[in-house]
Structure 1
Amino acid sequence: MTEVQRPGIVVVGASLAGLRGAEALRDRGYDGPLTLVGDEPHRPYDRPPLSKHVLAGELPPEATVLPQLSRLRAQWRLGRPAVALDRERRVLHLADGATLPYEKLLIATGARARTWPGDGADLAGIFTIRTLEDARTLWSALACRPNRALIVGGGLIGCEAASCCRDLGLAVTLVDPNPTPLARLLGTTIGATLAERMRGAGVDFRPKTKVRALSGEAGQVRRAHLAGGEVLETDLVIVALGATRDTGWLAAAGLAADAGGLTCDGACRAISIAGEPDPDIYAAGDVARWPNPLYGDRPMTVEHWGNAVDQARHAAANMITAPSAQQPYRHLPAFWSSQFGLNIKLAGHTAGADALALVQGARASHRFLAVYGKAGRSIAAVSFDEARWLPSYAEAVAAGARFPPFPEAIDQPRVERLEPGFPAARPPAHRAAPALEASHV
């Protein structure tokens, strides 16, 4: 009699979170069938270098492949994205018509870059930065020396792209509706330092400005039409408008999922639209929206490298643990960004900050460390070329220390209290929990 193989565990998403989650399953003793499904044809690769070293020409795209840290003994289904999930039959449907049964499912589908939503979206010369192919095609276009690169959006990806373009000697204009770069992540007080640095590097920074439409000739982008009526000449546009979570394929699955993420409980189990956790479906990485105990169980998504690794490993551990032994996932968000000769690092979540204290260095020197506070507690710390002190402040943030922490430190001669200067919240485009702006890191 032929033995029927059990369905096993299927990981949907073959990027950082999917790979590290699969490795964690093997490391923790799972010995059953394991399948990884990916919408791209590539083996898992590292995204942070795409908007930094790859665009700058310092690293070839193929050098971003992630190392495998464990022997997976897995089946790979690459280039065949998941298109639907049938929870009742416990079957995953792929784009090529194949179906995959599962015992348990780890959803790690991440996010997709927002494309240009206005007029001119069909023109050549408009790029996003999210995938390996994005970076490869954009790098080729930059190597052709466009007359002027226009970057739409002053978040982390937009700022890193602007820095790379200037390093290549290209003329760059960055248009952003906020008063400063990184205004929604760091506030305008800290963002003003970056604006100064950016302009000093030769970027034509246009704050409080919106692109209304793009237009061109012979199918190629040539102009950007600003909301105030000005027309900018450009032959290359980088759209850096953030990302939406890759949850469209879950539309009929009966799970609480939207463009803001897949809602999970504290153990990373997917929540149904009825409000109950599915004991056999977990999520990790950019796509997961979970209640973080470090921030009062506030639901959040975190698009950073460290969270993808840590949450995937945590979800994997819970997947092969008894229901009564599920552990909540706690995570202090953290990222780093290299741009305009600065090394910027953030530990914590700045959302809702009502106070800011400069505790090391000075803004005038572009070298400092600042702490964000909310209701008398420290919730985040940011360093500009002052990372030496950041671990201590990160520990204070994780412990919910008073604001500002270490007020009597002998190496901290004075504390400058400032207003964070966060812009007013925009009306949400979808019902979603707060997210930390992504830098693929």
Structure 2
Amino acid sequence: MSERIVVVGGGLGGVRSAERLREMGFDGQITILSAERHLPYHRPCLSKQIITGEWTPDDALLSFSGDLDAEWRLNSPALHLDPRKQSVWVPGGEEIKYDGMIIATGVDARAMGGAPRHDPRVHVLRTLDDAVAIRRNIRQSQGLVAVIGGGFIGCELACSIRHLGRDVALIVRSPALLGGVVGDDIGKKITEAHVEHGVRLATGVGIKHWVRQPGGIGIHLSDGQVFFASCVVLAVGASPAVDWLRGSGLDISDGVLCDSTNHVVGAENLVACGDVARWPNMRFNGVVRRVEHWLNAVEGGRAAAENLLVGRNHAKTYTPVPRFWTEQYGMRVQGAGLPVLGTDTTDVNGLTGFIANGKLVGIVGLESPGKIITETPELFRQNTVETNVPVWTQPQPAAAPEVLPTTMIPVPEPVAAHASSVPPSVSSSMSPPLQRRRHSRSRPEMVRVGGGRARP
């Protein structure tokens, strides 16, 4: 019987991990469970090109590389996991057995206490459908658009909405935009750019209460200001998508706890990657943390697939140097490392350098792509990985899982998605536990997904 690896999550991390499985020669069945109705798409464009209308939803779809040959189950979220039985349940009550699993469920938009979330004029931004709904509301309404939150998503949204010529209020609890992420100097420049482009900025404030009215929503702030908005977007962060893991016995406090090789603590043949994974990066002090960056989904997805195939005893530690960027009003901010760890700052060739315990742990630059490329190797040099670091290779036994809930919804028909390019060659020296030697296969034609044409 062919082995099966189940990838839970149809986003960037999930699809890149599935690609890596095929590149390494895994010839068993790959089943991808996705809570969404869309095939994988780029998320960075949701706060930019989708909002402005420069891209259509089809433009956002990811291209698949390699001979993926996966069974896609769209609109089919995982509902429950029993890691001891190596089983996952999906809508309709179906139990799916697996030989290996990759958890790549990402994050959900964080809830905001007191906000009238069920009002159709109040939105969050996490999915492609969220972005389309926000754009529709903006086009159909005439009043102020209020964005709550001054992180990357909130700032990019405010910029995109101003690009459409709409009046925008950006309401932020912190005293400056992005200050805790990019440093005070660059945060100040970003803040000034928003003001110069007409954003009505309220910083250092909280929201006392909301008032829903037929013509809009009143937002009463702690400093006495009141904004009346026809559209509200809550951009106050994200929470790991782990509800389906409750009762599994795994540690899911702030994400899925992994060892330093992507293997989930408390289970066998189970790895996690991307925003949902919490692991000790031995390059940066080994404290377990999550990293919510686009590139971590790519690199983490590939690393998780590799380490699943070779097995826990032969897995390599995952020790990336994170990189991130944002673009607002034509200004591009780029960073590398973990600036949040810094206790002091210094100048690094015109970049803001973040220092912790005498080491450079992060760099951020404004309109400095060349310098970022030049100085990033210094992060690797100053944050070397010791060869004898503990990686928690022995999993703790999982607690007995809870009884599976019986309330289910119908499961859609599975569909297949295939890629367009030839994968790189596979090293003949690799013989991991879950890997099978590949045979040649012909590519089937594209199929229809939910009434729309699936594309590779």
Contact 1:214–1:221 (CA under 8 A) maintained in structure 2: no
- 1:336 pairs with 301, 306, 325, which one? 325
Unaligned runs of 5+ in 1: 273-277, 362-368, 403-441
Equivalent residues in 2 for 1:224-243 (5 A)? Answer: 224-243=219-238
Decide which moves more: 184-193 or 64-73: 184-193
Percent same amino acid among aligned pairs? 32
* Alignment match, 1:283: 272
Cα distance in 2 for residues equivalent to 1:211 and 1:236: 16
- 1:305 pairs with 294, 300, 324, which one? 294
Equivalent residues in 2 for 1:14-413 (5 A)? Answer: 14-218=10-214, 221-258=216-253, 260-272=254-266, 278-360=267-349, 369-400=351-382
- The offset of 1:401, in angstroms, is 7.0
Decide which moves more: 203-212 or 223-232: 223-232
Contact 2:251–2:265 (CA under 8 A) maintained in structure 1: yes
* Superimposed CA distance per residue, residues 102-133 of structure 1 (whole angstroms, 9 cap, x where no aligned partner): 11110000000113321433322111111010
Cα distance in 2 for residues equivalent to 1:323 and 1:264: 12
Distance 1:66 1:119, change over 3 A: closer
* DSSP 3-state at the match of 1:302: coil
* DSSP 3-state at the match of 2:154: helix
Unaligned runs of 5+ in 2: 385-456
Cα distance in 1 for residues equivalent to 2:269 and 2:28: 15
Cα distance in 1 for residues equivalent to 2:120 and 2:113: 15
Question: Which structure features the higher share of strand residues?
Answer: 1
- The offset of 1:7, in angstroms, is 5.1
- The offset of 1:93, in angstroms, is 0.7
* DSSP 3-state at the match of 2:49: coil
Cα distance in 2 for residues equivalent to 1:61 and 1:107: 25
Contact 2:51–2:135 (CA under 8 A) maintained in structure 1: yes
Aligned residue type for 2:365: S
Cα distance in 2 for residues equivalent to 1:119 and 1:190: 30
Aligned residue type for 1:376: G
- The offset of 1:279, in angstroms, is 2.7
Aligned residue type for 2:294: W
Contact 1:151–1:238 (CA under 8 A) maintained in structure 2: yes
- Return the TM-score normalized by structure 1: 0.84
Cα distance in 2 for residues equivalent to 1:67 and 1:280: 28
- Return the TM-score normalized by structure 2: 0.81
- The offset of 1:215, in angstroms, is 1.9
Aligned residue type for 1:248: D
* DSSP 3-state at the match of 1:40: coil
Decide which moves more: 10-19 or 294-303: 294-303
Contact 1:145–1:170 (CA under 8 A) maintained in structure 2: no
* Superimposed CA distance per residue, residues 292-337 of structure 1 (whole angstroms, 9 cap, x where no aligned partner): 0210212121111111111111111111114431110011111111
- The offset of 1:157, in angstroms, is 0.2
Greater length-normalized contact order (CA 8 Å, ≥ 6 residues apart): 2
Aligned residue type for 1:386: S
Cα distance in 1 for residues equivalent to 2:92 and 2:273: 25
- The offset of 1:253, in angstroms, is 0.7
Contact 1:114–1:243 (CA under 8 A) maintained in structure 2: yes
Cα distance in 2 for residues equivalent to 1:212 and 1:119: 10
